[in-house]
């Protein structure tokens, strides 16, 4: 990787070559000054000519995606409707807004959301939140019997998934110690789970497992699992397969319908940019969402409905019956029939804004750019690791995310040498780099192709170099023998902000 001005010029050239640059204009990129200020209100940026209004290097879309400009516009429309129409907002078609009447906000989001996850529109529902949706899905899909009662998950599953699974097992009066199978990496040292290892764990517990629940992309390592193969293999053994897509949705293309996935759930605040804690999404394969209507056997009786058992609420009942206030649940066919409460219009307004940005491209085009961005990040990290090795004489960090492009999404997780994390995070923050840490030693760096650039990656690397050298310098002060760390080829380390 080229450093200094030549490197910056090269990164900018890559931005021009690899397209989609215009999509960044859809987003509010916090400036460095905004990040350090104690006030939330964004000032008029044009007047802020003090040189401190450079955009931050925001590489944290794996945690919280940035705000599209459309969000504010659509929120204002929603607030205006609420203010001027009150309850009529549920039904009234407005001429001067982009939004549909509130009664249909969930349906309005389905087609675009379905494209992002590779589903039929009716297989998708905008509802609840991720953990709540996992619970709802398991209530329907985890139906343990004497013969099949185990749930397989990873040993290092996101804690919420672990708790959810454990509580379902306990809810059925089973013992998690014997009913919960935790897949751990086979070799000590590696945090990755190979497909072969996952399949062999499935085989080992094939006869008594009811459910397999895995993440599409692992939150810590960034590993993207072979969802198609794992799903097919587990299902061939009679196991139901569900996926937690928190880190996969909006990040990698998927084909949930064609892969025959039983169910999936996701949040919308990461790569989907819908805001913190925003409404989640659910996928239920069409074969599980069928509703059969049996005509009444006698005149005067009502028809009956057959459908997959679930925990039900009025918003899952057909729109025609919803306001009839009867006690007869008539589920909407598809994932919509799993909804409980009336949809948060504020949340789904943010979803609409996000999807209207996604509509300007395709998940396939985003992936194409993402592969290049992340490869560039990887190569730059490798070059920096070598540079640090040369100057310090040891490894300062290593990559734990798989090196194979098809086994990862946008994110690369970097394992820092022991004791560096706090200093590195502090130094990065000072330079206006936003990314997240996972204690004790990992930083996660995720260039999101919708708004991140090669230049962002370049600037991150420059700041990371300074941070590492500072951290190593601190170590030196502590009396450790770290060799010459502040000088590279006789040149003092420069902060990235010195390079424009
Ligand atoms: C993989 C994974 N699963 C579950 C969750 C929990 O999500 P929520 O708080 O929306 O239920 C998260 C949150 O970041 C996550 O990353």
* Span 18-48, pLDDT tens digits: 879 999 999 999 999 999 988 887 665 544 4
**Contact status, residue 211 vs residue 152, Cβ threshold 8 Å:** yes
> b or e along 185-194 (b: 16 or more beta carbons within 10 Å of the residue's beta carbon)?
beeeeebbbb
Q: Is residue 67 part of a domain?
A: no
Q: Is residue 317 part of a domain?
A: no
For 427, the domain range is 4-55+362-475
Residue 439 vs residue 124, higher pLDDT? 124
Please tell me the distance between residue 265's alpha carbon and the centre of ligand 1 in angstroms: 10
CA-based max dimension of the chain: 94
Residue 475 vs residue 359, higher pLDDT? 359
Is there a single domain that holds both residue 343 and residue 275? yes
| CATH number of the domain to which 379 belongs | 3.90.1150.10
Is there a single domain that holds both residue 403 and residue 350? no
**Contact status, residue 332 vs residue 317, Cβ threshold 8 Å:** yes
Please tell me the distance between residue 245's alpha carbon and the centre of ligand 1 in angstroms: 9
CA distance 477 to 485: 12
Is there a single domain that holds both residue 421 and residue 353? no
The 10s digit of each residue's pLDDT in 49-70 is: 445 589 999 999 999 999 999 9
Mean pLDDT value of segment 416-426? 95
CA distance 204 to 268: 35
Residue 480: is its pLDDT beyond 70? no
Is there a single domain that holds both residue 10 and residue 137? no
CA distance 211 to 181: 10
What is the structure's pLDDT at 326? 84
Number of separate domains in the chain: 2
Is there a single domain that holds both residue 229 and residue 371? no
Per cent of the chain over pLDDT 70 is 92
Q: Is residue 167 part of a domain?
A: yes
Q: Can you give the three-state secondary structure of the chain, one letter per residue?
A: CCCHHHHHHHHHHHHHHCCCHHHHHHEECCEHHHHHCCCCCCCCHHHCCCCCCCECEECECCCCCCEEHHHHHHHHHHHHHHHHHHHHHHCCCCCCCCCCCHHHHHHHHHHHHHHHHCCCHHHEEECCCHHHHHHHHHHHHCCCCCCCCEEEEECCCCHHHHHHHHHHHHHCCCCHHHHEEEECCCCCCCCCCCHHHHHHHHHHCCCCEEEEEEECECCCCCEECCHHHHHHHHHHCCCEEEEECCCCCCCCCCCCCCCCCCEEEECCCCCCCCCCCCCCEEEECHHHCCCEEECCCCCCCCCEEECCCCCCCHHHECHHHHCCCCCCCCECCCHHHHCCCCCCHHHHHHHHHHHHHHCCCCHHHHHHHHHHHHHHHHHHHHHHHHHHHHHHCCCCEEECCCCCHHHECCCEEEEECCCCHHHHHHHHHHCCEECEEECCCEEEEECCCCCCCHHHHHHHHHHHHHHHHHHHHHHHHCCCCCCCCCEECCEECCCHHHCC
Please tell me the distance between residue 161's alpha carbon and the centre of ligand 1 in angstroms: 8
**Contact status, residue 460 vs residue 433, Cβ threshold 8 Å:** yes
Pull the structure tokens for residue 221. 């390592």
What is the structure's pLDDT at 489? 26
What is the structure's pLDDT at 44? 59
Cβ 131 under 6 angstroms from ligand 1: yes
What is the structure's pLDDT at 492? 30
Pull the structure tokens for residue 69. 């400009």
Q: Which atom of ligand 1 is nearest to the CA of 277?
A: 10
Q: Are strands 180-183 and 150-154 parallel, antiparallel or unpaired?
A: parallel
Q: Is residue 73 part of a domain?
A: no
Cβ 317 under 6 angstroms from ligand 1: no
Per cent of the chain over pLDDT 90 is 83
Q: Is residue 499 part of a domain?
A: no
Cβ-based neighbours of 315, under 8 Å, separated by 6 or more: 106, 127, 322, 339, 340, 341, 342, 343
What is the structure's pLDDT at 112? 98
Where is mean pLDDT largest: 37-51, 67-81, 188-202? 67-81
Q: Please give the torsion angle defined by the CA atoms of residues 474, 479, 483 and 489, in that order, rounded to the nearest 10 degrees.
A: 40
- pLDDT bin (cut points 50, 70, 90) of residue 1 is low
Mean pLDDT value of segment 251-258? 98
- pLDDT bin (cut points 50, 70, 90) of residue 254 is very high
Mean pLDDT value of segment 153-157? 97
Is there a single domain that holds both residue 228 and residue 366? no
Q: Which atom of ligand 1 is nearest to the CA of 218?
A: 1
What is the structure's pLDDT at 19? 78
What is the structure's pLDDT at 52? 58
Q: Which atom of ligand 1 is nearest to the CA of 280?
A: 10
What is the structure's pLDDT at 349? 98
Is there a single domain that holds both residue 264 and residue 124? yes
Phi–psi pair at 37, nearest 5 degrees: -75, 155
- pLDDT bin (cut points 50, 70, 90) of residue 200 is very high
What is the structure's pLDDT at 45? 58
Mean pLDDT value of segment 209-238? 98
User: Helix, strand, coil: what percent of the chain each, to 5?
Assistant: 45, 15, 40
Is there a single domain that holds both residue 394 and residue 353? no
Q: Is residue 65 part of a domain?
A: no
Minimum CA distance residue for ligand 1 atom 3 = 158
Q: Is residue 250 part of a domain?
A: yes
Is there a single domain that holds both residue 434 and residue 463? yes
CA distance 314 to 362: 34
Please tell me the distance between residue 347's alpha carbon and the centre of ligand 1 in angstroms: 17
With H, G, I as helix, E, B as strand and everything else as coil, classify residue 263.
Answer: strand
Mean pLDDT value of segment 148-165? 98
| CATH number of the domain to which 183 belongs | 3.40.640.10
Mean pLDDT value of segment 113-118? 98
The 10s digit of each residue's pLDDT in 424-435 is: 999 999 999 999
**Contact status, residue 222 vs residue 409, Cβ threshold 8 Å:** yes
Q: Is residue 237 part of a domain?
A: yes
Cβ 274 under 6 angstroms from ligand 1: no
Is there a single domain that holds both residue 36 and residue 181? no
Pull the structure tokens for residue 35. 């990040």
Sequence ranges of the binding site for pyridoxal 5'-phosphate = 130-131, 158-161, 244, 247, 269, 314, 342
Is there a single domain that holds both residue 385 and residue 449? yes
Task: Tell me which H or E stretch contains 103.
Answer: none
Which of 96, 48, 89 is CA-nearest to residue 73? 96
The 10s digit of each residue's pLDDT in 364-409 is: 999 999 999 999 999 999 999 999 999 998 899 999 999 999 999 9
Residue 481: is its pLDDT beyond 50? no
Is there a single domain that holds both residue 130 and residue 242? yes
The 10s digit of each residue's pLDDT in 286-325 is: 999 999 999 998 888 888 999 999 999 999 999 888 888 8
Cβ 246 under 6 angstroms from ligand 1: yes
Mean pLDDT value of segment 140-162? 97
């Amino acid at each position: 990787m080229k450093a200094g001005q030549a490197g910056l010029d090269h990164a900018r050239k890559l931005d021009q070559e690899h397209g989609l640059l215009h999509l960044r204009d859809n987003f509010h990129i916090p400036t460095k000054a905004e990040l350090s200020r104690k006030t939330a209100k964004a000032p008029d940026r044009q007047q802020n000519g003090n040189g401190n209004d450079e955009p931050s290097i925001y590489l944290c879309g794996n945690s919280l995606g940035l705000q599209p400009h459309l969000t504010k516009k659509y929120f204002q429309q929603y607030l205006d409707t609420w203010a001027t129409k009150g309850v009529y907002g549920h039904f009234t078609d407005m001429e001067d807004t982009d939004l549909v009447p509130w009664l249909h906000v969930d349906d309005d989001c389905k087609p675009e959301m379905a494209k992002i996850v590779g589903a039929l529109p009716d297989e998708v529902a905008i509802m609840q939140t991720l953990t709540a949706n996992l619970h709802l899905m398991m209530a329907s899909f985890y139906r343990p019997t004497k013969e099949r009662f185990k749930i397989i998950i990873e040993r290092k599953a996101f804690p919420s998934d672990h708790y959810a699974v454990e509580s379902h097992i306990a809810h059925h009066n089973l013992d998690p110690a014997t009913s919960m199978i935790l897949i751990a990496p086979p070799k000590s040292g590696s945090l990755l789970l190979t497909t072969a290892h996952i399949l062999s764990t499935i085989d080992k517990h094939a006869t008594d497992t009811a459910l397999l629940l895995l993440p599409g992309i692992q939150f810590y390592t960034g590993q993207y699992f072979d969802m198609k193969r794992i799903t097919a293999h587990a299902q061939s053994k009679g196991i139901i397969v569900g996926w937690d897509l928190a880190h996969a949705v909006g990040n990698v293309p998927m084909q949930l319908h064609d892969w025959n996935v039983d169910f999936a759930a996701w949040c919308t605040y990461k790569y989907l940019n819908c805001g913190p804690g925003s409404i989640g999404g659910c996928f239920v394969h069409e074969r599980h969402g069928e509703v059969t209507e049996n005509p009444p056997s006698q005149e005067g009786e009502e028809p009956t409905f057959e459908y997959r058992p679930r925990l039900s609420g009025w918003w899952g009942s057909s729109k025609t019956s919803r306001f009839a206030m009867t006690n007869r649940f008539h589920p909407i066919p598809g994932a919509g029939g799993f909804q409980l409460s009336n949809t948060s219009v504020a949340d789904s307004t943010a979803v609409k804004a996000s999807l209207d940005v996604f509509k300007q491209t395709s998940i396939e085009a985003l992936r194409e750019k993402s592969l290049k961005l992340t490869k560039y990040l990887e190569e730059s990290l490798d070059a920096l690791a070598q540079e640090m090795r040369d100057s310090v004489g040891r490894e300062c960090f290593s990559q734990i995310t798989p090196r194979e492009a098809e086994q990862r999404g946008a994110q690369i997780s970097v394992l820092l040498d022991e004791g560096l994390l706090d200093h590195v995070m502090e130094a990065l923050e000072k330079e206006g780099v936003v990314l997240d840490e996972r204690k004790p030693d990992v930083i996660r760096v995720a260039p999101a192709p919708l708004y991140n650039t090669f230049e962002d990656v370049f600037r991150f690397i420059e700041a990371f170099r300074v941070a590492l050298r500072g951290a190593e310098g601190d170590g030196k002060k502590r009396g450790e023998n770290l060799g010459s760390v502040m000088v590279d080829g006789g040149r003092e380390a420069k902060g990235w902000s010195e390079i424009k």
